[in-house]
Amino acid sequence: MVMKSQSITTPPDSDDQLYTTITSSTDSLKLMSTNSIDDTETSTAGSAGWHGVQQPRFIFTLLPLECSSSSAVVKVFIASLSQNTEASGNISFPLRDIEDIPFVTGENGSLIDIPLHVLPSSIQTLRKENSTAMISADRPVAAYVHLRCTEQQNNKATTFKLIPLDGLGTEYRVISYRYMGNPVTAVTAYNRTTVVNIIQSGISQTTTLMPYETILWESDSDLSGVYLVTDEPVFVVSGNKEDHLDGSTMGKDMFYECMPPLNDWGSISVVPLSDRESASILRIVPGT
């Protein structure tokens, strides 16, 4: 039985940002475009927010890296969406005793280093983690997470764009990929206790997340099509920590993408095909 899409309550004090997601329904190809945002000053609380007052914009979980700590790199790219106007804010770790990381960024963006000890250890089974980070800012911003291993024999990287808080939902289909490596999926609660129902191959498993807690799991099978239903909006990211993208056994890479909620899916997709000699891999998953 497939549940109907549920209405999504916009988190308190979030900006009225409009995001349109065009998904190619693949594990590594998604297009995201941001509509223009009216950054006009406002004196009415609850509409576009008060500029100068930092508000939560994104939550996300940090993912494990399969490399030594000396070669691991974790950065967050943040850029102001207001032309010629800087945004200031901080990156915080709600469940960890770690100082906030302040930032000031313009429309060209800034790269911010994330402490490596926030990263979860390697995953083997489904388990809960306290690896959540939150980005707050006084103006609308765009944010990307960059993960990289710089070892000479293990050089790999991935970058994924974060979905803002008011773009999160309560119903998801996971899109993943597996050739030889193990797919990974993570679900992160925002500021309320959240019940997460995971349905895979007709088997349902339910767990409860405390505010800002993450459930993270690895599988030896493709996780594409896993159905997630929650009673509060959640952040979902999925991908593979290390695999061969082209079907060869030469070199591995990692790749992750934020999953858009089902209410952002559509029936038409725009797919930017690769110009490499090898064929592009398209993963198509039905929303219902």
Q: What is the DSSP string of 117-158?
A: GGS-----S-EEE--EEEEEESS-EEEEEEEEEEETTEEEEE
The pLDDT tens digits for 30-53 are 333 333 333 333 322 333 444 568
pLDDT at 25: 35
Average pLDDT over residues 187-204: 94
pLDDT score for 269: 81
78 neighbors 135 (Cβ within 8 angstroms): yes
Q: Are 79 and 108 in contact (CB under 8 A)?
A: yes
Confidence of residue 18 (pLDDT cuts 50, 70, 90): very low
Token pair in block for residue 201: 């191959």
Q: Rounded to two decimals, what is the model's pTM?
A: 0.77
Domain boundaries, the chain: 19-36+53-264
The distance from CA 145 to its chain's CA centroid, rounded to whole angstroms, is: 8
